[in-house]
Amino acid sequence: MNAVSEGRRLLVLYDADCGICSSSARLLRQLDRGRHLRLMPLQTAGGIGDAPPVEVLRDAMHVRDWHGRWTVAGAAWIRIAEAVPFFRPLVVGSRVPVIRRLVEWTYARVAANRHRISRLLGDDACGVNARTP
């Protein structure tokens, strides 16, 4: 499969200081055989003119499409699923409003506990301070 042109790839910003975030980025790189994603640590996003501040980026996954539209949190994961063929079967379910809400709820729980999840998975603990959901 040919790589998608650089201008048509989704920009995915992840927290390189977070174990589960970095592990997720590594997995996405392996599964994205068609190179539909451009994964970038949020710590280096300063060169992207319209990127939110790092403090905002640390709060949730951010994805930017080739039109400059930003998608955040669970909706960002749905955008990733739409772009990577491996995940496309999951996209069908995400069109159902209750499933979309479940994706957002699940994302919020994981994000709020990413430091704990990182440790459980044997990764470096997340650099973001522990917060209550």
What's the pLDDT tens digit per position in 48-102?
Answer: 888 888 888 888 889 999 999 999 999 999 999 999 988 888 888 888 899 999 9
Q: Is residue 126 part of a domain?
A: no
| Percentage helix, strand, coil for the chain under 3-state DSSP, each rounded to 5 | 50, 10, 35
Dist CA 38 CA 108 (whole Å): 23
Model pLDDT for residues 97-121, shown as the tens digit of each residue? 999 999 999 999 999 998 888 888 7
Q: Is residue 129 part of a domain?
A: no
Q: Is residue 101 part of a domain?
A: yes
Model pLDDT for residues 24-54, shown as the tens digit of each residue? 999 999 999 999 999 999 998 877 888 888 8
What residues contact residue 47 under an 8 Å CB cut-off, 6+ apart?
A: none
Q: Is residue 29 part of a domain?
A: yes
What range defines the domain where residue 74 resides? 6-120
Q: Is residue 14 part of a domain?
A: yes
Query: Model's pTM, two decimal places?
Result: 0.81
Q: Is residue 113 part of a domain?
A: yes
How confident is the model at residue 4, as a pLDDT?
Answer: 60
Q: What is the domain-level CATH number for residue 57?
A: 3.40.30
Number of domains in the chain: 1
Q: How confident is the model at residue 123 (pLDDT cuts 50, 70, 90)?
A: low
Q: Is residue 131 part of a domain?
A: no
Q: How confident is the model at residue 130 (pLDDT cuts 50, 70, 90)?
A: very low
Q: Is residue 92 part of a domain?
A: yes
| Token duo for residue 58 | 């640390």
